[in-house]
Chains A and B, each alone.
Chain A
Amino acid sequence: MGKIVIDPVTRIEGHLKVEAIVENGTVKDAKSSGQLFRGLELILRGRDPRDAQVITQRICGVCPQSHGIAAALNLDTAFGIADKIPPNGRIIRNLIQGAHIAQDHVLHFYHLAALDYVDVAAIAKYEGKDSDLNSIKDFISRGELAPFVPRYEGDYRLRKEINEQAVAHYVKALEIRRTGHEMVSIFSGKIPHSVGVIPGGVTTTPTVDKIMAFLWKLRILQDFINNVYIPDVLAVAQAYLDYAEIGAGCKNLLSYGSFDLEDGNPDLTTRQRLFKQGTVSADLKPARLDITKITEQVKHSWYEDTTSGRHPSHGETTPKYGKQGAYTWLKAPRYDGKVYEVGPLARVAVSYAWGDPAMRKLVDSSLAQLKAPPSVLFSVLGRHLARALSAKYIADSIEKWLLELKPGEPAYVEYTLPEEGVGMGLTEAARGALGHWIEIKGKKIANYQCVVPTTWNASPKDDNGTPGPIEQAIIGTKIRDESNPFEIVRIIRAFDPCLACAVHLISPKGKDLGQFRVV
């Protein structure tokens, strides 16, 4: 019996360690461990509620915009203005979030995941005329191969031409994701940590020049997603078809839904959205989501056991580093007592299961190209494909929204800061279901809680000893070469973990933790 320790897991956001116990070449047990504690929720306590939008973005520099949106939705409900956001405000928020998530998916596939499949070092033998590839060839010939080497060796399978094309796309994708950020900047000032989305709407009023600039950057993004990103995912899939059967995980998926499509409905659980809200399991039958059924368990986390099993909004967090049997700063969120995965796969599968026609068409046509049934979605390749389709679905929707903007009309509604209030903000970050909750007392934040995607996906075993989604996806996997455990890192990265979100959020016990209700 051997133990594989990967610390740090790289090409993800944040500090993650993974341990796998291997017996006869198969993973028998796995531990996913978050290695950093920051305590953002505690920082928020006692501050002006409006500052939550600024501070929660700093939870994560990869997906700040999603926190900005969740915070704004949360504050809209707490301030009693969730039904009063002007259409321009709603639409511009969607444009900002949409551009941000689409570029984030591109970044994930090319810059975080691709180096597990694409062999940059092979460009040493490139003989063509592409200037980017030739500059990489020069780079290799100088002999200092960082940051591309060291790496795991022995399983790069793409044919020479496809590999070369993929490396060229790695470079091209750097430009594309930068263009995506420029789109965000048009309406939100700058990014990372943008400023446009605020409770009440957005700070920017739409103008024709902004709409046009956005439209033609969108075209660049769409062209890349349709003609490069999705074909590359399919090309990688063809060469690594065994990964359609690796990393199935818990097969329970959960989505909060995102991108508001209607005005005037203050209830986030019934609001019409592009991505639908709900849960789905292996049978792909959708079910409605009951937010009150979420609990966070800490038997295997570095916190006092007495705080286990609470709804996150009542959460109390008392650090106890080194606790017997515990191995992570992450808690274990569970829905209805069961393990759930969140992310693009969940987002796509839930909308698919509810019968959304556009999503049906998108998923079915891609699966037809792979000659595979929907069950193949529960795999490493399935997660990459779902992420690419999520990017396309968003990018294609943005165009219509953009042209619905009405220049000259307001994008923001004024409000009065309430003495007291509670709020909830539910959205989908690039990496999955993201929820913010607030309680306001005396015009200050009495309690602020976030439950973020990677806390779900990289969670440890729960109080019943059931492993979290990434752990489950690793357990049972055959490892071909224990000194080059490609299988494990490919499984982990397919989830796109973001540890900044997951562990920067946990707050130690406060002096007067307010009781908290979900509205």
Chain B
Amino acid sequence: MVNEIPVIWLQAAACTGCSVSLLNSASPTIKNLLIDQVVPGVHVNLRFHATIMAGAGEPVIKVMEDTAKDKKNGYILVVEGAIPTARDAVYGAIGERGGKPVRMEDRVVELAKDAMAVLAVGTCASFGGIPAAAPNLPGYQPVKKVLEAKGIAKPQVNIPGCPPHPDWFVGTVASIILNGLPKAEDLDDNLRPLAFYGTLIHENCPRRASFDEGKFAKKFGDDGCLYELGCKGSITYSDCPLRRWNDGTNWVIGAGAPCNGCTQPEFPDLVAPFYEKLTDVELPTIGEYWTTRKEEK
């Protein structure tokens, strides 16, 4: 008997980049993840994903709504994208009910209420991300804030990144299958799994030696640490330098570009301008400076 784990993947104000990144999963592949028993005896049953599923219109909305009813507390809700909360206009809707569009926020709240766990995939769902950047007229909020406002407490994991590395999502899901819902000590203060977000990019960067020696790239194409060209690796938590991207092909700093801090709650407003040095204060105090800047926010 194969244990089917139903998953509803909801796209709110998203760009679909998180989904496309997941398609790049190398081992397991996306086919292994959706068709095969991803762990022996367990199959991830992706019941709703607007970019992937065959059906359209009312029949697929029914599948989504039926899952919430029939699999109460037995399905995983994945949210990609930030959630518009402004009430004076319908800034975003998913499907209809009784001939009227259903607001994204209402969908997320309804589906979260009966979910086993909620996974916020990407920086928009985790922290607000790009849509919540100033001036944020539609009132974009991350999943956690939306659910807190409605008094819904569900086990939640944030898997930020713009987009997240596919391994971070796959690893989180596999961990739930193999070990159950994550415990508090598995997550950091921002609900990120420590297994993937436990160290600063700066700690594992191959250009770290240049930083320590004070050798800084002055223009793109130069060798040396990219700090002065705007690199935010010194305040950004992720295992990018070790894991690398696109099946280990390359990564941001490997391409000679500065890290833009995309896994952080501060992305984008507090890490921009992306091509300006993080701070003018003395280098050893970067961490201290950052804490202060956050408090000022």
Contact = CB atoms under 8 A, between A and B. Distances in A.
Interface stretch (A198-206, A268-276, A350-358, A388-396): A198-206
B272 A47 contact: yes
B260 A54 contact: yes
Contacts of A192: 17, 20-21, 163
A135 B96 contact: no
A9 B56 contact: yes
A500 B58 CA distance: 21
A15 B35 CA distance: 26
A245 B162 CA distance: 42
B200 interface: no
Interface stretch (B151-159, B170-178, B241-249, B281-289): B241-249
Contact of B23 (A64, A136, A174): A174
A54 B55 contact: no
Interface in B105-138: 129-131, 133-135, 137-138
A146 B47 contact: yes
B221 A58 contact: no
B23 A178 contact: yes
Interface in B260-289: 260, 262, 268, 272-276
B57 A7 contact: yes
B251 to A, nearest CB: 6
Given A7-B95, A42-B137, A48-B272, A58 B17 contact: yes
Contacts of B52: 11, 111, 147
Contacts, number: 267
A187 interface: yes
A446 B82 CA distance: 26
A13 interface: yes
B272 A203 contact: no
B45 A146 contact: yes
Interface string B84-101: 100011111111100001
B274 to A, nearest CB: 5
B121 to A, nearest CB: 12
Given A37-B91, A54-B260, A196-B255, A142 B249 contact: no
A144 interface: yes
Given A7-B96, A146-B45, A178-B24, A191 B246 contact: yes
Contact of B4 (A142, A171, A489): A142
B49 interface: yes
Interface string A30-41: 000001111110
A51 B276 CA distance: 10
B51 A15 contact: no
A151 B16 contact: no
B181 interface: no
A189 B255 contact: yes
B137 A189 contact: no
Given A150-B60, A193-B162, A142 B2 contact: yes
B252 interface: yes
A174 B219 contact: no
Contacts of B220: 198, 200-203, 412
B250 interface: yes
A205 B256 contact: yes
Interface in A12-53: 12-15, 17, 35-40, 42-43, 47-48, 50-51
Interface in A416-461: none
Contacts of B57: 5-9
Interface in A110-139: 111-112, 115, 120, 132, 135-136, 138-139
A50 B54 contact: no
B53 A190 contact: no
Interface stretch (B25-33, B188-196, B204-212): B25-33
Contact of B93 (A12, A35, A62, A184): A35
B255 A188 contact: yes
B17 A50 contact: no
Given A10-B55, A37-B84, A142-B4, A203 B18 contact: no
A319 interface: yes
B83 to A, nearest CB: 11
B15 interface: yes
Contact of A174 (B30, B50, B260): B30
Given A181-B24, A205-B256, A500 B274 contact: no
B225 interface: no
Nearest to B275: A50
B214 interface: no
A250 interface: no
Nearest to A171: B31
B241 to A, nearest CB: 12
A148 interface: yes
A186 B52 CA distance: 27
A454 B179 CA distance: 44
Contacts of B14: 61, 500
Contacts of B198: none
B193 to A, nearest CB: 20
B39 interface: no
Interface in A142-171: 142, 144, 146-152, 171
B43 interface: yes
A301 to B, nearest CB: 13
A203 B256 contact: yes
13 contacts: A8-B60, A9-B56, A9-B57, A11-B52, A15-B92, A55-B130, A55-B133, A59-B15, A150-B63, A181-B246, A190-B245, A204-B256, A213-B249
Interface of A: 5-15, 17, 35-40, 42-43, 47-48, 50-51, 54-55, 58-62, 64, 107, 111-112, 115, 120, 132, 135-136, 138-139, 142, 144, 146-152, 171, 174-175, 177-178, 181-182, 184-196, 198, 200-205, 213, 319, 321-322, 410-412, 414, 489, 500, 504, 508
Interface of B: 2, 4, 11, 13-21, 23-24, 26, 29-31, 34-36, 43, 45-63, 84, 88-96, 101, 104, 129-131, 133-135, 137-138, 162-163, 219-221, 245-247, 249-258, 260, 262, 268, 272-276
7 residue pairs, one from A and one from B, having the closest CB atoms: A61-B17, A189-B255, A190-B245, A195-B257, A48-B273, A147-B53, A185-B246
